[in-house]
Every structure is written in C-alpha cells, then in structure tokens.
Amino acid sequence: MGTFLDDEALGLFREAIKDGVVPNSKAFVSVLNLCSGRLDFELGRQVHARVVKGDWRNLIVDGAIVYLYVQCGDLKSAFGVFDRMVEQHVVSWTTNFTTSGASKAFGEEKALKFERQIHGYSEEDIPR
C-alpha cells in the first residue's frame, strides 16, 4: 500500500533504468526500502539481482536486502544474503530479524534462537 510519492519514485527509478542510468547504492537502498514497506517481493528480487550484477553490495545495501526478505517472509533468502555478507554487523542484523517479520512470521522463540546463533551461542550455553 504505497503512497503517490512512492509510486512516483518507483516510476522514476524504472524510467532511469530503461534510459540506461546506472543507479548507485543510495538509490538501491531507497528502492529496496520502498519495496520492503510495500511488501513488493518481486520488484525487490529484481533490484537485488541488479545489485549483485552491478557489484553494488556493501553493508548498507545488503542490510536493505536482508530487511526486504524478512519483511516479505522469505527468511531462507534473508539468511542466504546474511551468510554471504562480507561484513556482518551483529547488532543491526539482530535488530532487523527480531523486530520485524522474523518474530511475526515464525514466532518469538525461533527469532530468539536465530539471534543466539548469530551471536555464536549454542543451546547448551543458555541457562535453564
């Protein structure tokens, strides 16, 4: 459910691509965030493909991609992107996963289990 301005921004992005403009990482993050908010999984996947093809991956862009997949309920893809990240900033990713779609889609316990795995804790490390 996007606003008129969201629609206009996505339209301009599409036009720019058709005209041969190569977006930068800021443009990709902006469009990925719009896709996340609108739960536009298909467009988000297309943008992700352009990011990879154009070698625009960095901590911020990868974070926006992970967030998109979490918001759209595709945790397998989110985990895949996270695992291939050159730099994994634990605090921001824990926040992304536990405060967004992960806990909503799969329950608090699974989200917390994932959080513990990110931090390197095993089930034996958790006091009972």
Range of the domain at 24: 4-123
Choice between 99 and 75, residue whose per-residue pLDDT is larger = 75
HSE-CB at 1 with a 13 A cutoff on CA atoms is 0
Q: How confident is the model at residue 59 (pLDDT cuts 50, 70, 90)?
A: confident
Give domain status of residue 98, yes or no: yes
Domain total in the chain:
1
> Which residue's structure tokens are 């467009």?
43
Give domain status of residue 128, yes or no: no
Give domain status of residue 37, yes or no: yes
How much is the pTM? Answer: 0.72
Mean local confidence (pLDDT), 83-99: 64
Quick check: 10 pLDDT over 60? Answer: yes
Q: What is the pLDDT of residues 99-109, one digit of tens each?
A: 555 555 556 66
Q: Rounded to whole angstroms, what are the CA distances from 76 to 32, 70, 127? A: 18, 9, 28
Structure tokens at 26: 């800021």
Quick check: 48 pLDDT over 90? Answer: yes
Give domain status of residue 68, yes or no: yes
